[in-house]
Structure 1
């Protein structure tokens, strides 16, 4: 076989396998439930054929509770095993051994067709399970469209799986705190959402949540209080608040949650930013430069933010009067303290361009933002500059003038005015 033909065949095979991998889908990708002994759950899944041609898929269950899930609304065989790879191999092995037909092995879906599945599970006793996540999966595996008994399934196994997580509680009382506080513009109200989730086996009654809002210096600016709540094992409680930012300055703030119950307390911190994350350009200065010299471009900037902005720098684009870019430069990077002023310097070699006037398009970059400004630069044939010798003669002249004044100061006498 010629080398180029082998390469072409390999590419075609790779494309075929890639198309197969992305043909099958299942949703939702993950479901999470508290592990509650004796609880009955009804679940819904959707198998998706994403391909532009018809395809056949087998359904299987694997993981800790593979033998406790019942799949309905499907006519084909449901394969199961503790190990997910073993469950997939069961499908292929039974098909190759002639134990089942293609129709028995999996469902056929037309291009872009979806098939709904229903599943049921009754949670077993929690005894013997360690606190944390217990995982089970519902999966689909791609099957050939045609197959005869005694043949071998060629190619890799393309499968996708949906995760089913059960959270085994900790003994006693245990709580997980979380907060969602989006950044907000100064003067607007911050939307604060907090969640307390019970991860323990025991419920709690009359538990109290407070939340302190701390400024960038660690000073408390406000306290949010909420009515007491009862939270059962495995359940969550949600707390919402709107907080007016007009009473504080822009900056990075912290939300300090404190959940108190039965003489105990759990805490959680969440940062959020209030308004005006901005660096303003206050000046762009470039002195005229002689052709072939190095232009120095000074950019003055001012922070409008009440916290340190890290890694601020500027990109400079040099453009001629026709709008064509003729050069670029970049300044140093610097951290800007709260409300600070900062200068950035960029340097550009002028040898490759003619004399004339050029525009400077400046972009100051910080965080994920950009501030733009415009300046100008003049390139001339010559720029008069005093030589070192001229500086020396000027200094000598100044010294002699001072010495002369000192010498004659005692020679000059001013007669006093006559008294009448």
Structure 2
């Protein structure tokens, strides 16, 4: 009964939240403006009432530059399902010492309801906010960077895209990049490099640097691209990992290497996809041999694997009849008309006796022998007395 009440309460609470979330709105949800000394501008917003009853809303501003952001009014009354416009005035100073993206919010909030006696009722108030970012340029030369690389199938082209924005106060005359391709673990050596196009950017402008590399020139695997961007005598680096795949599933491990006699065993095959797409219909056969004689075999369940995913596929095998000995397990993985194999040696072992257990057993045996000897001595004495 308690569980039913708890579920009903949870559902009721979720419904209340869902209703509150959509009760009011603000548009647009986000704005971005670039700083200019002594900038004066006015932004238009809309407050939205999504319910079939009137609402009184408070308008507020918060953030690092809220002193320079003023709403045209502090409250609004909205009729059922009404959308009403209000304005926000921005008046920036001649300079601001905090460069970068400054986060501010313009919000609307339901006013607290008052009772007939003029008392304020206690309850939840619904509010929504619109993001207002003000980008303040960095002194001198400054680039914001983002490196994007597509994972590719072997044989496809790799596209390197560097999104750049001049967030400094100075124009940039020459911007280019060299992208070094670093090989996979464990060596992580430089394999090759590609150069991008060259561009120029005025302050606040954004553009892209691009380069292309045939994936067949480096082969499949997991690589790292390190892009060095050169701009007017300065440099900046950004790096990202990328993958070149082929339709292959690697077997990383097959375990266990030891099992206990008389027990059922779970064999675990650890696999990893080296492909950029999902692979379905994967399964494996497991064969147990001893001196090239097949003793046991079974087939796993069918599974799927996502791009570059590692997964453990388990198979339970009844090994209770195997004697204490050395055996060989051979797994054959089947997928997309391909196969991959992995073999291991494993041992079937009997009950292991620990050193502590052996010590206790010896002590108990000595005590028993001592007791038996005492019993024999006492018995002999009794017999001797009887004879006398």
- Number of aligned residues: 297
Contact 1:252 1:274 in 2 (8 A): yes
Partner of 1:20: 20
Partner of 1:246: 216
Q: TM-score, normalised by structure 1?
A: 0.55
Matching of residues 7-406 of structure 1 within 5 Å? 16=16, 19-39=19-39, 43=43, 45-49=45-49, 53-54=52-53, 56-63=55-62, 64-65=65-66, 68-69=69-70, 78-79=73-74, 105-110=76-81, 115=83, 117=85, 119=87, 121-143=89-111, 150-205=118-173, 207-216=174-183, 217-229=188-200, 231-276=201-246, 279-281=249-251, 292-295=262-265, 297=267, 299=269, 304=274, 359-361=299-301, 369=309, 377=317, 382=321
Q: Counterparts of 2:89 and 2:267 in 1: how far apart (Å)?
A: 70
Q: Mind listing any 5+ residue stretches in structure 1 that lack a counterpart? A: 72-77, 80-90, 92-104, 306-315, 319-342, 346-355, 387-420
CA offsets 1:354-395 (integer angstroms, 9 cap, x no match): xx9864327697987366979784668x55679xxxxxxxxx
Q: Counterparts of 1:223 and 1:10 in 2: how far apart (Å)?
A: 57
SS of 2:79's partner is strand
Instruction: Please state how far the C-alpha of 1:146 moved relative to its aligned partner.
Output: 8.6
CA offsets 1:291-343 (integer angstroms, 9 cap, x no match): 952336364868758xxxxxxxxxx999xxxxxxxxxxxxxxxxxxxxxxxx9
Instruction: Please state how far the C-alpha of 1:204 moved relative to its aligned partner.
Output: 2.0
Q: Counterparts of 2:146 and 2:307 in 1: how far apart (Å)?
A: 25
Query: Residues 358 and 249 from structure 1, CA distance in 2 versus in 1: closer, same or farther, beyond 3 angstroms?
Result: closer
Partner of 1:308: none
Instruction: Please state how far the C-alpha of 1:184 moved relative to its aligned partner.
Output: 2.5
Q: Counterparts of 2:123 and 2:272 in 1: how far apart (Å)?
A: 62
Q: TM-score, normalised by structure 2?
A: 0.58
Contact 2:108 2:127 in 1 (8 A): yes
Q: Counterparts of 1:116 and 1:238 in 2: how far apart (Å)?
A: 40
Q: Counterparts of 2:270 and 2:132 in 1: how far apart (Å)?
A: 56
Superposition RMSD on alpha carbons, in Å? 4.8
Query: Residues 190 and 18 from structure 1, CA distance in 2 versus in 1: closer, same or farther, beyond 3 angstroms?
Result: same
Q: Counterparts of 1:180 and 1:370 in 2: how far apart (Å)?
A: 24
